[in-house]
């Protein structure tokens, strides 16, 4: 009996150690994802400084969309989609791809990448506030306080940023805030769409990969005409330009997406989302390498925005949502 007990205990310990190793691998993958996403801010600024922003996004998704469809076919063997979903996916594509990319790249054109990467950190706060109106979740004073704290962080970096050699910092920061709002609205609409889809047990179930692929395609369509207005063929696209676009397309969009989904599948959406707070940190740190400056106000701005995220998440836990 003691021998059998020892075998069981040994087996449990082995399983625990293996699980811990798997979790650490997932954590490392999520940290790498946040680093990739953080580095996208200075990369985007380097590109948008001398190149047409919408065209950068259009070319980026000209790479992303075929790759996503190829992966979708390889994994699922089908491109089929419910026609009744197309209007909703088009709207989400405009928000997630068209508007977000335009706001992101024009934002880093006019303001410092480090400042902009801080502003995007308010995303979870905006999601919580919008969910209160669209998903009828409870809007509490804690959420309102969280929004106020996040907004105070944005105002702080807008006024007191050490990066003064930019085209128009208030405009750039405002554009990135618009991008955060567009992405937050997309996230809330996606949450509602998935909820309705899962509730309809008789209807076809769409994978997250399929949804992302079609959303990217529809959003890309709307980028193309705006890109043509910029006359991108009149600009000089050198090897560094193409390298930056490949980084944004392959690493930031595709690799980052699959690493994040892997993390969600292993440790859950809630725990994975916590790692998102590292994106502004990595955005700020990597922006130093392109000559941007840091100051105590950078830390104050981050802490105010992070406090806002903590406040809305705390309320989400208390309300059971």
Mean pLDDT along residues 246-269? 93
Mean pLDDT along residues 24-53? 96
Q: What's the CA gap between 84 and 105, in Å, rounded? A: 32
Instruction: Look at residue 9 and tell me whether its pLDDT is greater than 50.
Output: no
Instruction: Tell me what pLDDT residue 44 has.
Output: 98
Could you tell me what percent of the chain has a pLDDT over 70?
Answer: 89
**Closest by Cα among 26, 145, 34, 163 to 108:** 163
Instruction: Tell me what pLDDT residue 17 has.
Output: 47
Instruction: Look at residue 235 and tell me whether its pLDDT is greater than 50.
Output: yes
Instruction: Tell me what pLDDT residue 48 has.
Output: 98
Instruction: Tell me what pLDDT residue 18 has.
Output: 52
> Is the pLDDT higher at 13 or at 69?
69
Mean pLDDT along residues 262-280? 89
Instruction: Look at residue 321 and tell me whether its pLDDT is greater than 90.
Output: no
pLDDT band at 270 (very low <50, low <70, confident <90, very high): confident
Min mean pLDDT across 1-5, 18-22, 45-49, 260-264 is at 1-5
Cβ-contact 158, 173 below 8 angstroms: yes
Instruction: Look at residue 250 and tell me whether its pLDDT is greater than 90.
Output: yes
- What mean pLDDT, rounded, does the chain reach? 89
Mean pLDDT along residues 309-317? 73
Instruction: Look at residue 192 and tell me whether its pLDDT is greater than 70.
Output: yes
Mean pLDDT along residues 250-278? 91
Instruction: Tell me what pLDDT residue 316 has.
Output: 46
Instruction: Look at residue 274 and tell me whether its pLDDT is greater than 80.
Output: yes
**Closest by Cα among 160, 125, 131 to 145:** 125
Mean pLDDT along residues 119-135? 93
Instruction: Look at residue 190 and tell me whether its pLDDT is greater than 60.
Output: yes
Instruction: Look at residue 104 and tell me whether its pLDDT is greater than 60.
Output: yes
Instruction: Look at residue 98 and tell me whether its pLDDT is greater than 60.
Output: yes
Residues listed for the chain: 321
Alpha-helix residue ranges (DSSP H) falling in the chain? 2-48, 53-76, 86-93, 100-110, 113-119, 123-134, 141-160, 169-199, 208-229, 239-246, 256-267, 269-274, 278-287, 296-319
pLDDT band at 205 (very low <50, low <70, confident <90, very high): low
Place of tokens 């909820």: 195
pLDDT digits (tens, 9 = 90+) for 145-189: 999 999 999 999 999 999 999 999 999 999 999 999 999 999 999
Per-residue tokens: 119 = 């502003």
Mean pLDDT along residues 294-309? 95
pLDDT band at 207 (very low <50, low <70, confident <90, very high): confident
pTM: 0.88
Tell me 162's DSSP state. Answer: S
């Amino acid at each position: 009996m003691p021998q059998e007990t020892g075998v069981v205990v040994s087996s449990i310990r082995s399983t625990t150690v293996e699980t811990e190793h798997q979790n650490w691998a997932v954590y490392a993958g999520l940290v790498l994802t946040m680093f990739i996403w953080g580095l996208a801010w200075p990369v985007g600024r380097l590109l948008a400084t001398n190149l047409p922003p919408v065209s950068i996004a259009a070319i980026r998704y000209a790479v992303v969309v075929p790759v996503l469809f190829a992966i979708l076919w390889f994994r699922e063997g089908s491109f089929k989609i419910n026609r009744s979903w197309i209007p909703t996916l088009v709207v989400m594509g405009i928000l997630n791809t068209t508007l977000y990319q335009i706001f992101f790249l024009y934002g880093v054109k006019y303001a410092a990448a480090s400042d902009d990467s801080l502003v995007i950190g308010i995303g979870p706060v905006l999601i919580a506030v919008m969910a209160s109106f669209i998903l009828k979740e409870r809007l509490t004073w804690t959420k309102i306080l969280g929004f106020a704290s996040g907004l105070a962080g944005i105002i702080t970096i807008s006024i007191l940023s050490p990066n003064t050699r930019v085209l128009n910092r208030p405009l750039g920061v405002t554009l990135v805030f618009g991008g955060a709002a567009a992405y937050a609205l997309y996230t809330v609409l996606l949450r509602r769409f998935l909820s309705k889809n899962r509730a309809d047990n008789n209807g076809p179930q769409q994978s997250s990969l399929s949804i992302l692929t079609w959303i990217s395609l529809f959003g890309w369509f709307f980028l193309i005409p705006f890109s043509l207005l910029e006359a991108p063929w009149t600009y000089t696209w050198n090897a560094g330009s193409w390298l930056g676009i490949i980084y944004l397309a392959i690493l930031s969009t595709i690799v980052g997406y699959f690493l994040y989904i892997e993390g969600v599948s292993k440790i859950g959406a809630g725990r994975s989302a916590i790692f998102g707070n590292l994106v502004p940190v990595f955005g700020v740190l990597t922006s130093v390498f392109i000559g941007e400056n840091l100051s105590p106000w950078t830390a104050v701005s981050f802490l105010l925005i992070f406090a806002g995220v903590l406040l809305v998440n705390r309320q989400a836990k208390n309300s059971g949502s």
